[in-house]
Amino acid sequence: MTFLALNGLHKSYGDAAALRGVDLHVAEGSRTAIVGASGSGKTTLLRLVAGFEVPDAGTVVMGGRTLADGPDAVPAHRRGIGYVPQDGALFPHLSVAENIGFGLPRDTPGRAERIAELLAMVALDAALLTRRPHELSGGQQQRVALARALAQRPRLMLLDEPFSALDTGLRAATRKAVAQLLSAAGITTILVTHDQAEALSFADQVAVMRAGRFAQVGRPVDLYRRPVDAATAAFLGEALVLPADLADGWASCALGRVPVEGRPQREGAQIMLRPEQLQLAPWPVDADPSAPPEGCVATVVESDFRGPESELTVAVQQPGGLRQIQVRGPSRVDVEPGARLHITVLGLAHVLG
């Protein structure tokens, strides 16, 4: 069931168009991640939903209630939406308890108990209630900011890159804890991020934004495996895009004959493979490199050792001469320049466009 519906949203700042007709439907209780490069319009969209700005055109409807119809909009404080900005924006002169309870009137029955409950919800110890923000770690500050947003019992939570200031290990742990908390509370959530892995792991639905529009919206696994174009494929992770001729469910490309989804028939197509689909093994020195049973034989041109794996530049033979491509393989495989590797493909290639 659709809980939040964005239809035809446009927003410009002077001559610069930030949003160009954005449509998005968000299911109740779900988590949606909006991902895109800097300047693509992600934060502008979030601010329109929050009510901090109004659209030039289009509608925002939440739970059947119209929050914005062009410039005619409900003020932010009357929308019942929680918002956690990138830096948490805690009040430095207030304690943790005072920050969490900032939006709760002083005469609210059971106010102190509610503040303690909120702190426990975000997995923080009650001993932190008297501390000031500068006495907390980055992850603790973000959890306090989340508790403050939860105090109003919002039906929708907006997260604007809330984990970007945290180091890698803390970021992953905090993101997982926040996702579990919001799911348990049944709160519909929208996360804005530029981190592709974060979007794929956090969300039920991912929307890729480019130049003020959504290039593709869908389940994380669908976007990762079946991106709509090469730009989206590259944005969501490492991707190998190759020209190919398609016939009878196979693609003829630099890696040999590769099975593809469906049975498209055309020349001059493009296929996409993810690094984990490529299987690399040493090719015997005395074996004929022109006739592998499947896949192709490649010559290592350059090897970049990265601990458990290596980033390789390899040359493969194709009609018209050699072609260099980037692949990734386990560092246990002999990857010295000049070495030959047998490359085979696991699973199906995705046909772009």
Residue with more model confidence, 49 or 124 = 49
d(CA 159, CA 75): 19
Q: What is the pLDDT of residue 122?
A: 79
Q: Assign a CATH topology to domain 2-235.
A: Rossmann fold (3.40.50)
Structure tokens at 259: 């099975």
pLDDT band at 103; cut points 50, 70, 90? confident
Reply yes or no on whether the pLDDT at 165 is more than 80: no
pLDDT computed for residue 334 by the predictor: 63
The answer to whether residue 223 scores a pLDDT higher than 80 is: yes
pLDDT tier at 260 (50, 70, 90 boundaries)?
very high
Q: 213 - beta bridge partners?
A: 210
Residue-wise DSSP of 187-213: -EEEEEES-HHHHHHH-SEEEEEETTE
pLDDT of residue 333: 67
**Which candidate, 128, 225, 167, 163, places its Cα nearest to that of 33?**
163
Top-ranked range on mean pLDDT: pick from 168-182, 205-219, 322-336: 205-219
Q: For the domain 240-352, what is the CATH code?
A: 2.40.50.100
| Whole-angstrom distance, CA of residue 347 vs CA of residue 19 | 37
Rounded Cα distance between 29 and 147, Å, is: 18
The pLDDT of 246-260, averaged and rounded, is: 93
pLDDT digits (tens, 9 = 90+) for 182-191: 888 899 999 9
Query: Is the distance from CB of 194 to CB of 236 less than 8 angstroms?
Result: no
Mean pLDDT of the chain: 89
Interatomic CA distance for residues 158 and 168, integer angstroms: 22
pLDDT digits (tens, 9 = 90+) for 50-69: 999 999 999 999 999 999 99
CA angle 329, 335, 336 (to 5 degrees): 160
The whole-model pTM stands at: 0.85
Question: What DSSP character marks residue 68?
Answer: E
Instruction: Provide the residue ranges of all domains of the chain, joining segments of one domain with +.
Output: 2-235, 240-352
Cβ(233)–Cβ(239) below 8 Å: yes
Give the pLDDT score at 289: 77
- Which tokens sit at 194? 């530029």
What confidence tier does 246 reach under pLDDT thresholds 50, 70, 90?
very high
Pairing of strands 16-27, 2-13: antiparallel
Helix (H, G, I), strand (E, B) or coil at 61: strand
Mean pLDDT on 136-165: 85
